[in-house]
Amino acid sequence: MAPETQAMFDTDELVINMGPQHPSTHGVLRVVLRLDGERVVGSDVVIGYLHRGIEKLCENRDYAQIVLITDRMDYVAAATSNLGYCETVEKLMSIEVPRRARYLRTVLSELQRIASHCLWLGTHAMDIGAMTVFLYAFRERELILDLFEEFCGARLTYNSMRVGGLPQDIPPGWDRKVLAFCDIMDAKLPEYEQLLTNNRIWLERTKGIGVISAEDAVAIGLSGPPLRGSGVKRDIRKDEPYAAYDEMQFEVPVGVAGDTYDRYLVRIEEFRQSVKIIRQAVAGLPEGPIVGKVPRLIKPPAGETYHAIESPKGEIGYFIVADGKSVAPYRFRVRPPSFCNLQALSQLIKGHMVADVVALIGSIDVVLGEVDR
Amino acid sequence: MSDETPTPAPPVAAKPASKPAEHKPAAPAAPAGPPDPPPPDGTALPAYIVALQAALPDAVTQLSLFVGDWTVIVPVTRLLEVALQLRAQGFDTCSDVTASDWPQRPQRFDMIYALYSIKDRTRVRVKVRAAEGEAVPSVSSVWPAANWLEREVYDMFGVTITGHPDLRRILMPDDWQGHPQRKDYPLEGPGELLMENPLDWLRLKQTANEAEIE
């Protein structure tokens, strides 16, 4: 081949910018990709486009006001963010939460988990090209939003927990509606699975994509379903039970291969387990007060603590330093599961096609409001 | 049209107390540091702390127990040793790395590492104290998960972290001035000027500071 012709066929690496305005980055995520043809050889994940300084903001609000701000982090799973915060303050102040409130918190967090997983399933499948699942999943999510609306009046940012308990008791008949929803969910889950689990296109697009071993997953700090997809049986609901999870019977599903498909299977099984937990919690719902003995002015003693719970995305932890004198935390820190899981993205997409980047962003299920805070 | 319309008189004695609902908690004098209460006498130490003290005698300068959370406080020079030892003892997950700022103290920063052991289901926090500019070794070689978390601490507090593979700002823009989570950084931010011309902003801030001192 003549040198000139050779030069024509020389290949160069191409750097392209994906996001921050991109429909399948689920918000304002920017990924700078270095490509060799269609294959990713390197990447840089750029975040911070939604940074609102929530930690700083919370250090200037009193403890009761912060519940409202935690809604704005993971806005598709506000109830679990609320719960994590309230439990941390309760731990700082050694407040005992009544049993009825703990049961209702369990019901709310599991409803929230189903809603969050519905959103994940719909958008993840749509990113890969399965449009129908999106409509199906949002149909069920809508029912949960209705339940939340009836409970606390809001459909997205619930403000649904208080330090020491709940803002109000459930409306009459709400528990029956929750049980009716459980039946609907049980009937609809096979529909999702029928569309995806054995779908050949779905298998081609997800099997063997973004494989991460158990050791690597632990080392990079994955938590929640992405960690369990790699076969690590770690679920804070089981390992360090909070709310009423110690009284519930449920399984922790784990994957084997650690690829996108196994992470999908883990979340699908989590739908079933959540329904199971909700049924138990509603059936065993004790009578009694819904707020514990909380002083009118929430002012924890000086000290610091870290408390983590299992949000739909993974381990959401709060680290609060109280100085014992002011009604605002001296230091307020959130350990955001989306942020820590997103760290693994560069590692996951290396060597895959550009189209798989979209599948992998969906697979780790990030919410940018929580990544950037 | 005459322009002699009298300007409306300013409302007499506008009640300054008419805005009680500011919801701004009164800022008490900043404490000089966290209390770090020691464990009560006779408390049995958990096995991992006993093992740590046996492996690295005199590395742990202080122990703290508060609402069931154990914290080991170590000098910044021994941090990597302690991290490696705890990693070998089964603390395979670095849940969180964060800092807190205590400007009254000579060593103003606390770096806090929240660790978790999946096998034993135990948590422990490691804490080091560092002055501004004092080098804190990166633990991202021990726990890769600390990479982004340390970048966030660097971005938000300006703690000098050494040996980090990729120390850049992560949440704030790359050309940002200052570190927002420090206690002396204003809540409302530096205002518009900073975005347009950071140097002008710095100069203004300096003159304001000097005026305040005088």
Report residue A143's pLDDT band, with 50, 70 and 90 as the boundaries.
very high
d(CA A315, CA A237): 10
Confidence at residue B201, expressed as pLDDT on a 0 to 100 scale:
67
pLDDT reported for residue B1: 43
Residue A286 touches partner B, C-beta closer than 8 Å: no
- pLDDT at residue B72 in the model: 92
Burial class (CB in 10 A: 0-12, 13-18, 19+), A158: buried
Q: How confident is the model at residue A179 (pLDDT cuts 50, 70, 90)?
A: very high
Report pTM.
0.84
Nearest to A276 by CA among A185, A169, A166: A185
Residues listed for chain B: 214
Task: Please list every residue in chain B whose beta carbon sits closer than 8 Å to the beta carbon of residue A343.
Answer: 145, 147-148
* Environment class of B159 (CB within 10 Å of its CB; exposed 0-12, middle 13-18, buried 19+): buried
Q: What is the mean pLDDT of chain B?
A: 79
Backbone angles phi, psi at B139, to 5 degrees: -100, 15
Q: Is the pLDDT of residue A237 over 80?
A: yes
Contact B145 A51 (CB under 8 A): no
**pLDDT confidence band for A294 (50 / 70 / 90):** confident
> What's the N-to-C CA distance of chain B in angstroms?
49
Q: Which residue has the higher pLDDT, B2 or B42?
A: B42
Inter-residue contact A271 to A122 (CB < 8 Å): no
> Which A positions 139-198 lie with beta carbon below 8 A of chain B?
none
Q: Is the pLDDT of residue A216 over 70?
A: yes
- Decide if pLDDT at B22 tops 90: no
Pairing, β B161-162 against β A331-335: unpaired
- Tell me the average pLDDT across A162-187: 91
Least confident of A72-76, A230-234, A317-321, B200-204: B200-204
| Burial degree of B73 (CB within 10 A; 0-12, 13-18, 19+) | middle
Return the axis-axis angle of helices A99-128 and A354-364, rounded to nearest 10°. 170
The model's confidence at residue A183, banded by pLDDT at 50, 70 and 90, is very high
Average pLDDT over residues A99-110: 92
Average pLDDT over chain A, rounded to an integer: 89
Cα(B137)–Cα(B78) distance, rounded to whole angstroms? 9
On whether any CB of chain B is under 8 Å from the CB of A315, the answer is: yes
Other Cβ atoms less than 10 A from the Cβ of B5: the count is: 7
> What pLDDT does residue B196 have?
59
Per DSSP, B9 falls in state: P
* CB contact A47 to B (< 8 Å): yes
Instruction: Give A35-69 pLDDT, tens digit per residue.
Output: 888 888 889 999 988 898 899 889 888 898 899 99
pLDDT > 70: what percent of chain A?
99
Higher pLDDT, A145 or A325: A145
Percent helix / strand / coil, chain A, rounded to 5: 50, 15, 35
pLDDT tens digits for range B49-86: 888 888 888 888 888 888 888 999 999 998 998 999 99
